[in-house]
Amino acid sequence: MILALAGGVGGAKLAFGLTKALSPEDLIIAVNTGDDFDHLGLRICPDIDTVLYTLGKMANTETGWGQANETWNFMEALKAIGGETWFQLGDRDLATHVERTRRLQAGELLSVITADFADRFGINHPIVPATDEPMPTIVNTPDGDLSFQDYFVRLQCAPTVTGFEFGGAAAAKPSSAISKAFESGQIEAVVICPSNPYVSIAPILAVPAISDFIYNSGTPVIVVSPIVGGQAIKGPAAKMMKELGALPSALSIAHHYQDIANTVVIDTTDSDFTAPIQELGLEVLVTNTIMNTAEEKTRLADDILTFARHRSRMVKLQHKTQ
Amino acid sequence: MILALAGGVGGAKLAFGLTKALSPEDLIIAVNTGDDFDHLGLRICPDIDTVLYTLGKMANTETGWGQANETWNFMEALKAIGGETWFQLGDRDLATHVERTRRLQAGELLSVITADFADRFGINHPIVPATDEPMPTIVNTPDGDLSFQDYFVRLQCAPTVTGFEFGGAAAAKPSSAISKAFESGQIEAVVICPSNPYVSIAPILAVPAISDFIYNSGTPVIVVSPIVGGQAIKGPAAKMMKELGALPSALSIAHHYQDIANTVVIDTTDSDFTAPIQELGLEVLVTNTIMNTAEEKTRLADDILTFARHRSRMVKLQHKTQ
């Protein structure tokens, strides 16, 4: 079984590829919930929805969020009555938020609701929130703390970041499908998808039982670099790296994850970093990591899984905690 | 000043006419809140919205509820994820419910929110909920009690009604604009719009201070019959009358209101009821009460106001409580 850690767009793309390469019993996709927030009285879970919509083949590939064939009459009408319009909600997308909020308020777990939605979207592989408890990401800036969506959407990532906090993380428990996978002893590798290391992956790793597993179980950890040619494919990862004092590069990603990773997957563009990353004691897989088509997603997943199978024995021997 | 009591479609039509005939200072439209309910976590106020949309010239005249040029992608997506779809919510209409719910949850009064929405829709005349407190209509049936929207929408008015209750009515206070109008001594007539007497007007009259004013102030009360030619123009009023043992007719409407009305406005179709209604001690205005066009709405309002002005002195002398 593979445990994939995923944020939004990049994570969803590789998760899609992994579903093509693995049976539903052999994959569990743990999704970041640090971006989740309450807006207009609705509970909005951007990364879960991006993964749901991507795997359900209904994602809006133009925007990178929301549903395809979307309409915006709700937003237009909301503007007309003076409502807040800085966070765009499509008419179809809204159904997800309204129904999820209703079910959460009725006492259902986010993981149960997410599993039901996945089932409705024809998705067979388990998509699970990292945790069922709210764990909002806080963005530290020189001018004070910001809630994640204030930073990310309202302020368009303009403020300089100095750090991040994950409120409630210390007490958070993994959602039950993740705990069961840990207990099963069946997880053969952890794949960290090409998502933002600070605001997509770090919140997942901030759940104590998840980082305990990753640090202490000896399971190989394969990180796919979200930085290609010094740029983030999407989102503020490169900008954040600079602001935190690192040169945006696949090598910096390797440095960031060197305490937990066994393997770093980098794009062919970045093949010059192979030796420097190996010098950190990490395996390197060089391949095409850009995933524009379904075929590219599946091929990257296949490459990663093939590499993981071939190297698993050696990787285990090299694991940091052994 | 005229106080108009209004439910949904019929009430909204005459209210529209009254806004053409009266300045904003000379009219207050008190709207039924008994239909209001919580659905999908949203507070929905069907009659307030019908009045808002009608006066804002954005009502869906085909359905009789919701907004014109509406789309239904939210409902389609909600169905896809297993949400409840028995109550139709258009994409534009949804903005009203989401924003109202958000503001109510933030502690704002329904009357304040309604006034803001009216202002946004370019409506200058005051539209006020009868009361700011929830006062849900309960429909009694031989098989037990039903919430109003269960009866009205989910069960399509199929159950036989045996009576109605207005939960919380005994403690309900009129919203402040109505109380102020009462205190001002400026109300010259009450116009009961052609709305369902049992589930649109009775809930308004169930607010103690409103019925106190109507019974005890001596202000003339003019009732516009919602029954024309033995039929309700829209809705279950005629069916309810039969089930409660009355022949559906303008005469039965006169009987229903005889303790509070001074004048009954009936359609020319029903002119044969003039003498029988007069025998109840009520004035009768016979005119065309069907309001399909803006002109017909305005003309009916003009007819009523002209009649009220000419007869006001006599009407006051005849008032039941004098």
Instruction: Confirm if A280 and A254 have CB atoms less than 8 A apart.
Output: yes
Q: How confident is the model at residue A310 (pLDDT cuts 50, 70, 90)?
A: confident
Assess whether pLDDT exceeds 70 at residue A116. yes
Give residue B62's pLDDT: 85
With tokens 């409103």, the residue in question is B210
Render the burial of A73-112: b for 16+ CB within 10 Å, e for the rest. Answer: bbbebbebbebeeebebbbbbbbbbbbbbbbbeeeeebbe
Task: Tell me the residues of chain B between 111 and 150 that have a Cβ less than 8 Å away from chain A.
Answer: 116-117, 120-121
Distance CA A116, CA A123 (A): 10
- What is the pLDDT averaged over residues B18-28? 97
Give residue A321's pLDDT: 45
Distance CA B68, CA B66 (A): 7
CB contact under 8 A, B83 and A74: no
Instruction: Confirm if A123 and A55 have CB atoms less than 8 A apart.
Output: yes
Pairs of CB atoms within 8 A across A/B: 107
Question: Chain B within 8 Å of A70 (Cβ-Cβ)?
Answer: yes
Give residue B318's pLDDT: 52
Question: Chain A within 8 Å of B92 (Cβ-Cβ)?
Answer: yes
CB contact under 8 A, B81 and A42: no
Give residue B28's pLDDT: 98
> Whole-number mean pLDDT of chain A?
95
Question: Chain B within 8 Å of A101 (Cβ-Cβ)?
Answer: yes
Question: Chain A within 8 Å of B107 (Cβ-Cβ)?
Answer: no
Cα distances (angstroms) measured from residue B314 to each of A139, B283, B310, B317: 73, 10, 9, 5
What is the interface pTM, i.e. ipTM, of the complex? 0.91
Residue type, A70: E
Assess whether pLDDT exceeds 70 at residue B316. no
What residues make up the domain containing A18?
2-318
Which distant-in-sequence residues (6+ apart) come within 8 Å of B121 by Cβ?
A: A80, A81, B52, B53, B55, B56, B58
pLDDT digits (tens, 9 = 90+) for A166-218: 989 999 999 999 999 999 999 999 999 999 999 999 999 999 999 999 999 99
Give residue B234's pLDDT: 87
Retrieve residue A76's tokens. Answer: 């237009």
CA distance B52 to chain A (A): 12
**Which residues of chain B make contact with A41, given a CB cutoff of 8 A?**
41, 98, 101-102, 105
Helix axes B91-105, B46-55, angle to 10 degrees: 120
> HEC profile for chain A?
CEEEEECCHHHHHHHHHHHHHCCHHHEEEEECCCCCEEECCEEECHHHHHHHHHHCCCECCCCCCCECCCCCHHHHHHHHCCCCCCCCCCHHHHHHHHHHHHHHHCCCCHHHHHHHHHHHCCCCCCEEECECCCCCEEEEECCEEEEHHHHHHHCCCCCCCCEEEECCHHHCCECHHHHHHHHHCCCCEEEECCCCHHHHHHHHHCCHHHHHHHHHCCCCEEEECCEECCEECCCCHHHHHHHCCCCCCHHHHHHHHCCCCCEEEEEHHHHHHHHHHHHCCCEEEEECCCCCCHHHHHHHHHHHHHHHHHHHHHHHHHCCCC
Q: How confident is the model at residue B313 (pLDDT cuts 50, 70, 90)?
A: low
Instruction: Confirm if B37 and B149 have CB atoms less than 8 A apart.
Output: yes
- What is the pLDDT averaged over residues B258-280? 97
With tokens 């919430």, the residue in question is B147
Distance CA B128, CA B125 (A): 10
Give residue B321's pLDDT: 45
Give residue A233's pLDDT: 87
- What is the pLDDT averaged over residues A4-15? 96
Give residue B177's pLDDT: 98
- What is the pLDDT averaged over residues A291-309? 96
Give residue A41's pLDDT: 96
Question: Chain A within 8 Å of B77 (Cβ-Cβ)?
Answer: yes
**Structural domain count, chain B:** 1
Assess whether pLDDT exceeds 70 at residue B320. no
Range list of β-strands (E), chain B: 2-6, 27-31, 37-39, 42-44, 127-129, 137-141, 144-147, 163-166, 189-192, 221-224, 227-228, 231-232, 263-267, 283-287
- Does residue B287 sit in helix, strand or coil? strand
Instruction: Confirm if B254 and B280 have CB atoms less than 8 A apart.
Output: yes
What torsion, rounded to 10 degrees, do the Cα atoms B175, B180, B181, B184 define?
A: 170
Edge-first strand order for the sheet with B263-267 is B127-129, B27-31, B2-6, B189-192, B221-224, B263-267, B283-287
A interface test, pick of B52, B74, B85 with most A CB neighbours within 10 Å: B74
pLDDT digits (tens, 9 = 90+) for B133-176: 999 999 999 999 999 999 999 999 999 999 999 989 999 999 99
Distance CA A74, CA A78 (A): 6
Give residue B310's pLDDT: 84
For residue B96, give the nearest of A81, A96, A101 by CB distance. A81
Assess whether pLDDT exceeds 90 at residue A283. yes
B interface test, pick of A70, A94, A121, A127 with most B CB neighbours within 10 Å: A94
Is the model's pTM score more than 0.90?
Answer: yes
With tokens 């039924």, the residue in question is B32
pLDDT digits (tens, 9 = 90+) for A220-273: 999 999 999 999 988 999 999 999 999 999 999 999 999 999 999 999 999 999
CA distance B56 to chain A (A): 12
CATH of the domain at A143: 3.40.50.10680
For residue A71, give the nearest of B73, B93, B95 by CB distance. B73
Count the alpha carbons within 13 Å of B79 in the hemisphere toward its beta carbon: 10
> Whole-number mean pLDDT of chain B?
95
CA distance A77 to chain B (A): 5
For residue A82, give the nearest of B67, B77, B120 by CB distance. B120
- What is the pLDDT averaged over residues A64-93? 96
Percent residues over pLDDT 90 in chain B: 93
Assess whether pLDDT exceeds 90 at residue B322. no
pLDDT digits (tens, 9 = 90+) for B172-181: 999 999 999 9
Distance CA B197, CA B204 (A): 10
Assess whether pLDDT exceeds 60 at residue A274. yes
With tokens 């106020």, the residue in question is B45
Retrieve residue A231's tokens. Answer: 């740029």
Assess whether pLDDT exceeds 60 at residue A315. no
pLDDT digits (tens, 9 = 90+) for B44-100: 999 999 999 999 999 998 888 899 999 999 999 999 999 999 999 999 999 999 999
- What is the pLDDT averaged over residues A82-91? 96
Q: How many other C-beta atoms lie within 10 A of the C-beta of residue B39?
A: 16
- What is the pLDDT averaged over residues B275-288? 97
